[in-house]
A and B are shown apart, each in its own frame.
Chain A
Amino acid sequence: MAFWIELLISGLVAGLVIGLSALSITLVFGIARFPNAATGDTMTVGAYGALLGHRATNSLLVGGLTGAIAGAIVGFLGYWFIFRKLAQRSNVALLVASIGLAFVLRAILGVSFGHSQQVFQLPLVRPWRIGDVPVHPNDLVLAGACATILAIVFAILHLTPIGRRMRAVADDPALARVSGISPSSVMTVLWLLAGAVSASAGIVAGIKTVVSPEMGWDLLLPAFAAAIVGGIGSPVGAVVAGLLIGVVQEMATPFVGFTYKIALSFLLMLVVLLVRPRGLFGKLEGAR
């Protein structure tokens, strides 16, 4: 039993990484309307940013903030120099551009930091025992940080003027423009937010495992799977589906082995697409 609870906990932590990256994908898809393949490498930027910040200050909080800010900057620069110029083009053009940006980011990271794997040097802390279950304090800290990030994102979306306008653009971009809603301020905030959220996912992944230039790209597919399972464009759906996929993958590892657990997220995605094409929390098509 304790074994399963342990798997559940590590599934939830993995799920937070998937959920945060899926949240970034779904925000961009809902508002800028294309699947952003640079999400994975923005995660990597966040992980390296946090690694540097942590090494310099020995504070995980400072490291995390550094990484999140680095991600926000990359998100904004990608918008300003690439996606803004292609705004009138098809979403295939935007997807291809984002794949290009992904490769560029990875190359820059590879050249700057080398391809060897790096780890966060964290003091070893003995896990607490709750009954038979070992609980790592670091996991709790990470979960708390993720919860805070989610709370901030949802507060911005639902409680602020810019969030209202972001949701308006997600509903009907053309109507937003004729209603005097500035596309550039909505897009600026979207990309800062999407970059910081992807970076946070990368930071958590980096702390839990290792940091390497390829890490984000490897995490991209489960993130897309979660965004689709949750219902593309639905922030709540992305987070819930990310947690679901994380837990399913971990709990299934004893049965299918480590190598095949990734395939499970796609199995889950296929099942959801077949049974409920708009995803778990998908917006109703034709509601507008």
Chain B
Amino acid sequence: MKLALRDISVRFGGFKAVDGISLAIEPGTLVGIIGPNGAGKSTLFSMVTGFLPHGEGVVSLGEADISRDTPFGRARRGMVRTFQVPREFAHLTVRENLMAAAPGQSGENLIDLFFRPGKVRNEEDAIRREVEETIDFLKLRAVADVSAGRLSGGQKKLLELGRVLMTKPKLILLDEPFAGVNPVLIEELSGHIRALNQRGIGFVIIEHDLSALSRLVSVLHVMDQGKLLASGAPAEVLARKDVREAYLGGAA
């Protein structure tokens, strides 16, 4: 599913956090977004996933204009995000966090719940099998029954990835997945991302770890002060003088 953004702007008061961004994310690609802190990267994710009703511009996914869709509707279309500071359903166990995100649960309808328990049970069994696979895939078995609020930062990042995977996404927006994660886990996460991409899932990744990111993505977009500064292959983009100045505050 192609994600296309046209003239996206987000204002906070008089301040333009995102200022006229247009870009297209081709289906099934691995794309990076970099830029200094405060460039508007996370705000762009919030806008695209429907969290800033006051944002301007057109967001389309595949053929559909989703600019007016609710966050829930956008997630159901297959576009989901993670958060820079990981978020979780703190009082649910890791397993419940994953189960809650699975789509197509007729057990959320009281009539089916009470009058078609067989159907609900079958769905629950299918979801449970999928959750167990995800738990193994992300090596979260040891904490599967722990309340998610108690996980370490790195485990929460894994859980975020697991939760978005459970929604059966076509496009995943990751906000700084490697921040505060140790190098071994970064390698592991990168491996997961590559494997999932091979299954056809597209990724847009905001990240400050440029070396890990460059190894992963085929296209890099650079944001600075709400605007798109550069786009292209990672090596080319990172070699540009204006990018290095924006990113490193003119030190290079």
Q: A: which residues have CB within 8 A of B?
A: 156, 160-162, 164-165, 167-168, 170-172, 174-183, 185-186, 189, 192, 283-284, 287-288
Contact A174 B99 (CB under 8 A): no
Contact B107 A167 (CB under 8 A): no
The distance from the CB of B192 to the nearest CB of chain A, in whole angstroms, is 18
Tell me the complex Cα distance, A261–B99, Å: 46
Top 8 A-B pairs, shortest CB-CB distance: A161-B107, A180-B75, A171-B89, A162-B108, A177-B71, A161-B105, A168-B100, A288-B90
The one of B75, B87, B120 that contacts A161, using a Cβ cutoff of 8 Å: B120
- List the A residue with the shortest CB-CB distance to B83: A175
Contact A178 B75 (CB under 8 A): yes
Tell me the complex Cα distance, A180–B83, Å: 15
Tell me the complex Cα distance, A22–B250, Å: 60
Interface centre among B96, B97, B100, B163 (most CB of A within 10 A): B100
Q: A171-B92, A180-B80, A185-B108 are in contact. Are A287 and B75 (CB under 8 A)?
A: no
Q: A164-B100, A181-B100, A185-B109 are in contact. Are A172 and B87 (CB under 8 A)?
A: yes
The distance from the CB of B157 to the nearest CB of chain A, in whole angstroms, is 14
- List the A residue with the shortest CB-CB distance to B148: A171
- A-B contacts, 13 listed (Cβ < 8 Å): A160-B113, A161-B107, A162-B105, A164-B92, A171-B90, A171-B91, A174-B51, A175-B87, A178-B75, A179-B101, A180-B75, A183-B72, A287-B149
Contact B107 A181 (CB under 8 A): no
Q: Which of B63-77 contact A (CB under 8 A)?
A: 70-72, 74-76
The one of B81, B96, B97, B100 that contacts A178, using a Cβ cutoff of 8 Å: B81
The distance from the CB of B199 to the nearest CB of chain A, in whole angstroms, is 19
Tell me the complex Cα distance, A166–B47, Å: 25
Tell me the complex Cα distance, A160–B164, Å: 21
Contact B91 A283 (CB under 8 A): yes
Tell me the complex Cα distance, A186–B90, Å: 18
Tell me the complex Cα distance, A160–B112, Å: 11
The distance from the CB of B42 to the nearest CB of chain A, in whole angstroms, is 13
Tell me the complex Cα distance, A130–B15, Å: 75
Q: Which residues on the A side are within 8 Å of B97 (C-beta)?
A: 168
Q: A177-B70, A179-B101 are in contact. Are A162 and B107 (CB under 8 A)?
A: yes
Give the interface residue-count category, chain B: 35 or more
Main secondary structure of the interface of B (DSSP, over half): helix
Q: Which residues on the B side are within 8 Å of A170 (C-beta)?
A: 91
The distance from the CB of B216 to the nearest CB of chain A, in whole angstroms, is 23
Q: Which residues on the B side are within 8 Å of A180 (C-beta)?
A: 72, 75-76, 80, 101, 103, 167
Q: Which residues on the A side are within 8 Å of B72 (C-beta)?
A: 177-178, 180-183
Tell me the complex Cα distance, A9–B88, Å: 42
Contact B89 A167 (CB under 8 A): yes
Q: A164-B99, A171-B89, A175-B89 are in contact. Are A288 and B149 (CB under 8 A)?
A: yes
Question: Is B43 close to A, CB under 8 A?
Answer: no
- List the B residue with the shortest CB-CB distance to A186: B108
Contact B108 A168 (CB under 8 A): no
The one of A164, A177, A192 that contacts B96, using a Cβ cutoff of 8 Å: A164
Tell me the complex Cα distance, A164–B90, Å: 12
Tell me the complex Cα distance, A82–B97, Å: 31
The distance from the CB of B150 to the nearest CB of chain A, in whole angstroms, is 9
Q: Which of B112-161 contact A (CB under 8 A)?
A: 113, 120, 123-124, 149
The one of A161, A189, A287 that contacts B90, using a Cβ cutoff of 8 Å: A287
Tell me the complex Cα distance, A210–B90, Å: 43
Contact with A along B42-70 (1 / 0, CB 8 A): 00000001110000000000000000001
Q: A180-B72, A180-B75, A180-B76 are in contact. Are A168 and B92 (CB under 8 A)?
A: yes
Contact A165 B80 (CB under 8 A): no
Tell me the complex Cα distance, A165–B83, Å: 20
The distance from the CB of A224 to the nearest CB of chain B, in whole angstroms, is 23
Tell me the complex Cα distance, A283–B90, Å: 10
Q: Which residues on the A side are within 8 Å of B103 (C-beta)?
A: 180
Question: Is B110 close to A, CB under 8 A?
Answer: yes
Contact B87 A182 (CB under 8 A): no
Contact B80 A160 (CB under 8 A): no
Q: Can you add 19 more A-B contacts, CB < 8 Å, to A167-B96, A172-B87?
A: A160-B113, A161-B113, A162-B109, A164-B92, A165-B100, A168-B96, A170-B91, A171-B88, A171-B90, A177-B72, A178-B50, A178-B71, A178-B75, A179-B167, A181-B100, A186-B108, A189-B110, A287-B149, A288-B149
Q: Which residues on the A side are within 8 Å of B167 (C-beta)?
A: 179-180
- List the A residue with the shortest CB-CB distance to B166: A179
Tell me the complex Cα distance, A116–B97, Å: 51
